[in-house]
Amino acid sequence: MAAALVVDLEAEHSMDVILVGSSELSSPPSPRSRRDLVAYEVQVNQRDIEDMCICCGSFQVHTQHPLFEGGMCAPCKDKFLECLFLYDDDGYQSYCSICCAGETLLICENPDCTRCYCFECVDTLVGPGTSGRVHAMSNWVCFLCLPFPRSGLLQRRRKWRGWLKAFYDREAKSPLEMYKTVPVWKREPVRVLSLFGDIKKELTSLGFLESGSGPGRLRHLDDVTDVVRRDVEEWGPFDLTYGSTPPLGHTCDHPPGWYLFQFHRVLQYARPRRGSQQPFFWMFVDNLVLTEEDRAVATRFLETDPVTIQHVRGRTTQNAVHVWSSIPAVRSRHSALVSQEELALLAQDRQRAKPPAQGPAALVKNCFLPLREYFKYFSTELTSSLQMSHYTVKTATKKDFS
């Protein structure tokens, strides 16, 4: 009979660990749902877990799960790609790290981890009742943070970060390569080049910049007319390059397309040398001032399609921006689609509004959260409250990706 033990880890924050023996797992009852088939087929029928989708129980395996041993069907693969790097306002990932779904999520309380796991995955793959025991704990560390790789049927892959990168590059069909995520002990503070729009306030509030950070961590430039490659190389290297058009209603010294072309020019100077493994990300935000022709040029030059990110209050769109970016999951953050006619009317209303509308950085703030997988982040009001709250469960925020 498998033993379920609670162990205290001696650390700055005492963590509870659920340890489920893997060598003598008890035989599960006959499956009542397709999801229950996973444990039944593996333990009773001796099926290889790589031949089943561990997300839903399907036998129609398309690929292998990148984080844990087991298969993955095509629909679950698509959902995983769409949701993996989505974060909520609480700073934790929005969905289960196994199935990228789930109604109620158990959160990892390792201060350096933001992953969540749904009750169903934990009970199905680790053992019945495990979610309840985890829920009763004050602190719990997850299956990617534990010092041992196996919990019940849930086996962490060796070198899972490499698996995740290979999975994304193979399955995402994106022209933008994904960088391998960085272990906590190797993460360095992010170095930012901010063009035209200043994102210091947003990055500081998320913990990527320390309060009072000097110019060495973030360099903000309003005018790059005279900037040449040598300047950027002397200021750098940079890990994130951000640029935006001015907010509607603000006085512009240049036509809107100028900001796009200058961003693209400076971006080439800031990129790491070809073949470098240094994680490097960029984002360009249009505050609804680029023409349709300008947006088509941006898509061609930046080699990715834009998404529209909105601020919706009730049924009314209050604000919206177009975003091109290499940051993981930005493409998943869009709200329900808005027609270009609606956006044109919104732009006209905002242009007449006094005072001028808030800058685009506030709308895209949470798009930077996936960078926690790559760079060090410091204690902030958000992260401090999370570490002190000791809550283990949250309800998944459902998003419409249709």
Predicted local distance difference test score (pLDDT) of residue 207: 86
State the number of CA atoms in the 13 A half-sphere of 7 facing the CB: 14
Give residue 226's pLDDT. 93
137 domain-assigned: yes
385 found inside a domain: no
Q: What is the pLDDT of residue 384?
A: 45
Amino acid at 177: E
- What CATH number should be reported for the domain holding residue 291? 3.40.50.150
Residue 252 C-beta-side C-alpha neighbours within 13 Å:
18
Q: With respect to residue 13, please indicate whether it lies within any of the assigned structural domains.
A: no
Is-contact 189 237, C-beta < 8 A?
no
Task: Give the pLDDT of residue 1.
Answer: 38
173 and 68 part of one domain: yes
Q: Which helix (H) or strand (E) holds 46?
A: none
Residues 174 and 235 in one domain: no
Asked whether residue 245 falls in the same domain as residue 366, the answer is: yes
Say how far apart CA 139 and CA 383 lie, in whole Å.
Answer: 16
Whether 162 and 225 map to the same domain: the answer is no
Residue 211 and residue 174 share a domain: no
Tokens of 330: 């930005």
Q: Is residue 251 part of a domain?
A: yes
In a domain, 381, yes or no: no
Last residue of a domain, one of 139, 156, 178: 178
Residue 53 CB coordination number (10 Å): 27
Q: Are residues 88 and 232 in the same domain?
A: no
Residues 197 and 322 in one domain: yes
> Containing domain of residue 224, as a range?
188-376
Residues 118 and 213 in one domain: no
pLDDT averaged over 10-residue windows placed end to end, the chain, 402 residues: 38 44 47 73 90 92 95 93 84 89 86 89 91 85 89 92 90 79 90 90 86 69 93 93 84 85 96 86 90 92 86 59 86 54 55 53 82 82 45 52 34
Q: Report the distance separating Cα 160 and Cα 67, nearest Å.
A: 5
Contacts (Cβ under 8 Å, ≥6 apart) of 372: 87, 91, 114
Among 132, 155, 178, residue at a domain's last position: 178
Q: Look at residues 85, 145, 160, 149 and name the one whose alpha carbon lies nearest to residue 112.
A: 145
12 belongs to a structural domain: no
Is the domain of 165 the same as that of 93?
yes
Answer with the one of 123, 143, 178 that is the final residue of a domain.
178
For the chain, the domain total comes to 2
pLDDT of residue 25: 47
Is the Cβ–Cβ distance between 110 and 142 less than 8 Å? yes
Are 366 and 282 in the same domain?
yes
Asked if 118 and 143 touch (Cβ cutoff 8 Å), the reply is no
pLDDT at site 287: 87
Distance CA 309, CA 324 (A): 11
Decide: 127 and 4 in contact? Cβ < 8 Å: yes
Position 343 scores a pLDDT of: 53
The whole-model pTM stands at: 0.79
